[in-house]
Amino acid sequence: MAHRPFSLNFSQTRWIGGWDAASRVTSRRCGAKVGSPSLLERGRLHLEPIERDCAARARKASGTIPNSMTANFQQAGAYTALITPFHLDGRLDLERFRALVAFQLKEGIDGLVPCGTTGETPTLEWREHDKLIEIAVELSAGSRPVVAGCGSNSTEEAIDATRRAKELGVDAALLVDCYYNGPSSLELREEYYQRILDAVSELPIVPYVIPGRTGCALEAADLAILHLRAPERVPAVKEATGDLERMREDRAVAGETLQIVSGDDDMTLRMMRDEGIRASGVISVMSNLFPGAISRMLELERAGDSSGADALSESLKPVFGLVGCAIESERVLPNGKRVKSVDRFRNPLPVKTMMAGLRMCELGLRPPLGKMLAPAVERCREALIEVNRRDSSLLAPIAEHFEGGTVEERLADDARWASLARA
């Protein structure tokens, strides 16, 4: 498939500086320095090859001097918020990650976002995080922009992650608002985003506003201050508030130069068509499964073919509603009492379950994430069956790229789908 124009086109002179993957930061994710052998001693990660590969890359590139970078977001395109594949025992599956990235590039996706929240970054070691970014940069080879997830609820940790991502050659850093510790919008602006901008020169950053997951939000006025201070450094925002009025406020106070990027597949066309928002594209979850179709949908919309875009959106509608999956269930207490409950399985569980059912990856997860209940798995399967019924061409590229039989055979494999559910 011919490559379409970049969706979020960061143009920059790439560079990679030397760094020591094993000792640059303290990982609060595991409570020890990145070089700590604690997890390795338990035999879970087997990351020595990762360290050697990163170190070799750094030595090869050492001495290179960074040049100036500019950010030029176009009103176009789809980036994939890449999942992180694990083996069933929890080890990082780098071979499968490479296959997934190759699939994205072959199908004409406009850009890649490794190590976002869809990539399960809370349970990644920093050296794993950096290796995934390195692979995405390596495989894209400058043909597509790479925007690396570097956010944290620690400013110092986010600075370290952003610095290392820049050294690895990314085009920009995606920075989610600080989760759990809940800073005010003023604190987010000055004690998080601005400190990162000051500490890591030149690299563009993309604030990611998703209050449903973080419990806080960079307000439109503070976003505008960051953007208007340095449009080339803060050229865009990823909006996953679900609030169209908030997005209109972003546009009204920040002006025409801010690029507003959808963080919700099912809202993208509405955001692009809304005259008060005029979104430039999407950082998509479902493009893990449908990179070509979602890129094409946005391309049609940009070209003024709204009916064509709507037709693709309608075909994909069954999965667009499955970024999360809520299932009513029942708990049996030790005393025998039964209590109704609702289990809300959140991104990336539905998309990873669908990908595993289609044999794009194994359903490897790291606690606290685990398998969904059988009704949720069946809902995912039924959604894919419906997409395939509406337009069988949409899933066809998966059968071409990943071994495992025809799409219909994969969807009909009862044993496979049953194995993806919690027992």
Active site residues: 208, 238
409: CB partners within 8 A, 6+ apart = none
Q: Is 163 exposed, middle or buried (0-12, 13-18, 19+ CB in 10 A)?
A: buried
The whole-angstrom separation of Cα 205 and Cα 203 is 7
Burial class (CB in 10 A: 0-12, 13-18, 19+), 162: buried
Distance CA 363, CA 331 (A): 25
Q: Which two tokens stand for residue 406?
A: 């025809």
* C-alpha 313: how far from chain center: 20
CA dihedral 124→115→350→39, nearest 10 degrees, is: -10
Q: What residue spans of 141-290 are helical by DSSP H?
A: 155-167, 185-187, 194-199, 211-214, 220-229, 244-254, 268-273
CB atoms within 10 A of CB 213: 14
How far is the first Cα of the chain from the last one, in angstroms, to the nearest whole number?
A: 41
- In the block, tokens 């990943």 appear at 402
Residues in the chain: 423
**Do 368 and 391 touch, CB atoms closer than 8 A?**
no
The rounded distance, in Å, linking the Cα atoms of 380 and 279 is 28
Tokens found for residue 171: 């085009």
